[in-house]
Amino acid sequence: MRLDKETLHKLIANKMHKAGLTKEDADIAADVLTFADLRGVHSHGAVRVEYYSERIAKGGITTHPKIEYTQTGPASAILDYDNGCGLVAAKVGMEKAIEMAKKNGVAVVGIKRMSHSGSLGYFTEMAANQGLVAVSMCQSDPMAVPYGGSEEFFGTNPIAFAAPSVDDRVISFDMATTVQAWGKILHARSKGVSIPDDWAVDVNGEPTTDPHKVNALVPIAGAKGYGLMMMVDVLSGILLGVPFGKNVSSMYADLSKGRDLGHLHIVINPEFFIGLDVFKRSISTMLDELKQVTPMKGVKEVCYPGERGKAREEAYLKDGIEIVDDIYQYLISDDIHFNRYDHKNKFAE
């Protein structure tokens, strides 16, 4: 099933508004989710709508949050979002960070007590599109084994980065600190396909290619990924005074309760350093030089981070966004949700 961008956005917004979000918040949530599907990151797109809608309908996402924004210094602030929609909270936090960085050169904005925030690349590209550099990171519930361990402790704890050039090219990457995000496992399950044997382990700690047998994910690059996922939890968890490590709330355990997650945006204004024009020209030079690197055997060309996602977006805008038929049928139905997720384990089972 292929849908144009406007149709998919409308279906998602309508469903989340029907679940209980205000129309404005539902539109923002749909922006973030549609962005993910446009870039081919289907694990963080429309596939998530039913889960969000069930949590909204059952009270686990505050539909009219009492938001508190506290600027704690010239370049720092904390946004308490009262367990409102994380997709919206992260956007509001980035808007605050952009404003602060434009004025003061640097901004560090922490968002605490929020729900799942979706594709982080959406938020970092907000900053890049305004001539800024951004890093964003957030916690997730425990589902990855620490390096050398056999039990899950940290979450996939993603990190995103974006920076502008003089043209329409934006360096942009959004990565889990595990070999793959949990959403990729969910997507493989929904498509009925196997996964590579280096993504996850089963209950015995052995590699598995069956997404239905996954018990835990593994850190990217072994000890290095383990260090990164710990760093994310320190900066978006401990630093903001929310639960951390194995105490981060489960996505599915009780959908009537807020998740109290933490998220951190760091935004830098190049004008306060080398100067924006020089910075953007240097980024463009770097990208041009990367494109001149001789590709290895079997590879057509060297791509810069974000290039393939942008190409997928252009193709989807032309030919329509690919959506699994079951998800489309849910989106056009009158049902808000089908009680698929509440009081399930970390695998929604």
By annotation, the residues acting in catalysis are: 116
Residue 69: strand pairing partners: 79
Q: How far is it, in rounded angstroms, from Cα 215 to Cα 203?
A: 5
- How many whole angstroms separate alpha carbon 168 and alpha carbon 282? 14
All residues at 6 or more sequence positions from 79 whose CB lies less than 8 Å from its CB, including other chains: 67, 68, 69, 70, 89, 92, 93, 96, 109, 110, 111, 112
| Residue 2, SS3 per DSSP | strand
Containing 111, the helix (H) or strand (E) segment is: strand 106-114
Dihedral sign for Cα atoms in the order 177, 181, 182, 185: negative
Could you give the angle at which helices 121-128 and 86-104 cross, rounded to 10 degrees?
30
Structure tokens at 158: 């993603």
**What's the DSSP call for residue 146?**
P
Closest CA to 20 of 49, 46, 58, 48: 58
Phi-psi region of 241 (alpha: psi -120 to 50; beta: other; left: phi over 0): left
Tell me which residue of 43, 1, 6, 47 sits closest to 27, measured CA to CA: 6
In angstroms, the CA 338 to CA 108 distance is: 39
> With DSSP H G I counted as helix, E B as strand and the rest as coil, what are the percentages for the chain, rounded to 5?
40, 20, 40
Cβ atoms of 96 and 79 closer than 8 Å: yes
